[in-house]
Chains A and B, each alone.
Chain A
Amino acid sequence: MVKRILIVEDEANIVESLAFLLRRDGFDVSTIPDGARALAEAERITPDLMILDVMLPNLSGFDVLRDLRTHGALGTTPVMMLTAKGQTRDRDQAEQLGADLFMTKPFSNAEIIAQARRLTGLTP
Chain B
Amino acid sequence: MPRSFAGLRIRERRRTLGLSQTALAHQAGISPSYLNLIEHNRRPVAGKVLLALARALDVPAAALGEQATLGLVATLREAAADLPVHEPETHLVEEFVGRYPGWARMLSTLDRSNREQRTTIEALGDRLTHDPVLQSDMHEMLTTITAIRSTASILATVDDIEVPQRQRFTRAIHDESQRLSEVAGALTDYFDRTASTDRPPATPEEEIARILESAGYAFPELTDGADIEDVLDRLCPNAGATRTGLQAWLTRWLDDALAIPDSDLLQILAEPLDLTAAARAHGVTVAQLMRRLAFRQGDMPLGLIEINGAGQILLRRPLPDWPISRQMAACPLLPIFDALLQPGMTQPVTVEMPGGQSTLTICTNTITPSDQMGQRGRVGATMLLVPNAAQRLFALNNVPFVHAGPGCRVCARTDCSARIAEPVIAR
Please tell me if the beta carbons of A105 and B146 are within 8 angstroms of each other in the complex: yes
Which residues on the B side are within 8 Å of A106 (C-beta)? 142, 145-146, 149-150
Given contacts A106-B146, A106-B149, A107-B146, contact A20 B139 (CB under 8 A): no
Please tell me if the beta carbons of B143 and A84 are within 8 angstroms of each other in the complex: yes
B253 within 8 A of A: no
Which residues on the B side are within 8 Å of A55 (C-beta)? 139
Residue interface mask A14-35, B partner, CB < 8 A = 1 = 1011101100100000000000
Residues of A at the B interface (CB closer than 8 Å) are 11, 13-14, 16-18, 20-21, 24, 55, 84-85, 105-109
Given contacts A13-B172, A16-B168, A20-B165, contact A84 B151 (CB under 8 A): no
A-B pairs, top 8 by smallest CB distance, nearest first, are A84-B142, A13-B147, A105-B146, A106-B146, A13-B172, A17-B150, A84-B139, A17-B151
Please tell me if the beta carbons of A109 and B150 are within 8 angstroms of each other in the complex: yes
Interface size on B, residues (CB 8 A): 22
Please tell me if the beta carbons of A17 and B143 are within 8 angstroms of each other in the complex: no
B372 within 8 A of A: no
B157 nearest in chain A by CB position: A109
Please tell me if the beta carbons of A17 and B154 are within 8 angstroms of each other in the complex: yes
Please tell me if the beta carbons of B142 and A105 are within 8 angstroms of each other in the complex: yes
Please tell me if the beta carbons of A17 and B139 are within 8 angstroms of each other in the complex: no
Which residues on the B side are within 8 Å of A84 (C-beta)? 138-140, 142-143, 146
User: Can you name 28 A-B residue pairings with CB atoms under 8 Å?
Assistant: A13-B151, A13-B172, A13-B175, A14-B143, A14-B147, A14-B150, A17-B151, A17-B169, A17-B172, A18-B150, A20-B154, A20-B169, A21-B150, A21-B154, A24-B158, A55-B139, A84-B138, A84-B140, A84-B143, A84-B146, A105-B142, A105-B145, A106-B146, A106-B150, A107-B150, A109-B150, A109-B154, A109-B157
- Bound-state CA distance A106–B158 (Å) is 19
Please tell me if the beta carbons of A105 and B154 are within 8 angstroms of each other in the complex: no
Whole-angstrom distance between the Cβ of A51 and the nearest chain B Cβ: 13
- Bound-state CA distance A89–B297 (Å) is 52
Cβ < 8 Å to A, chain B residues 219-278: none
Besides A11-B147, A17-B172, A105-B145, 5 other A-B contacts (C-beta < 8 A): A16-B151, A84-B142, A85-B135, A106-B142, A109-B150
Whole-angstrom distance between the Cβ of A76 and the nearest chain B Cβ: 28
- Bound-state CA distance A85–B154 (Å) is 24
Which residues on the A side are within 8 Å of B176 (C-beta)? 13
Q: Which of A17, A107, A108: most chain B Cβ within 10 A?
A: A17
- Bound-state CA distance A14–B150 (Å) is 7
Whole-angstrom distance between the Cβ of A5 and the nearest chain B Cβ: 15
Cβ < 8 Å to A, chain B residues 145-170: 145-147, 149-151, 153-154, 157-158, 165, 168-169
Q: Which of B143, B149, B165, B169: most chain A Cβ within 10 A?
A: B143
Whole-angstrom distance between the Cβ of A101 and the nearest chain B Cβ: 16
A15 nearest in chain B by CB position: B147
Whole-angstrom distance between the Cβ of A104 and the nearest chain B Cβ: 8
Which residues on the A side are within 8 Å of B142 (C-beta)? 84, 105-106
- Bound-state CA distance A18–B146 (Å) is 11
Whole-angstrom distance between the Cβ of A27 and the nearest chain B Cβ: 15
A107 nearest in chain B by CB position: B146
Which residues on the A side are within 8 Å of B138 (C-beta)? 84
B153 nearest in chain A by CB position: A109
B160 nearest in chain A by CB position: A24
- Bound-state CA distance A20–B166 (Å) is 11
- Bound-state CA distance A84–B146 (Å) is 9
B140 nearest in chain A by CB position: A84
A105 nearest in chain B by CB position: B146
Please tell me if the beta carbons of B168 and A85 are within 8 angstroms of each other in the complex: no
Which residues on the B side are within 8 Å of A108 (C-beta)? 149, 153
B152 nearest in chain A by CB position: A17
- Bound-state CA distance A85–B157 (Å) is 27
Please tell me if the beta carbons of A16 and B169 are within 8 angstroms of each other in the complex: yes
A106 nearest in chain B by CB position: B146
Which residues on the B side are within 8 Å of A11 (C-beta)? 143, 146-147
- Bound-state CA distance A108–B147 (Å) is 11
Whole-angstrom distance between the Cβ of A9 and the nearest chain B Cβ: 10
Select one of B135, B140, B145, B147 contacting A17, CB under 8 A.
Answer: B147
- Bound-state CA distance A16–B158 (Å) is 15
A14 nearest in chain B by CB position: B147
Which residues on the A side are within 8 Å of B154 (C-beta)? 17, 20-21, 109
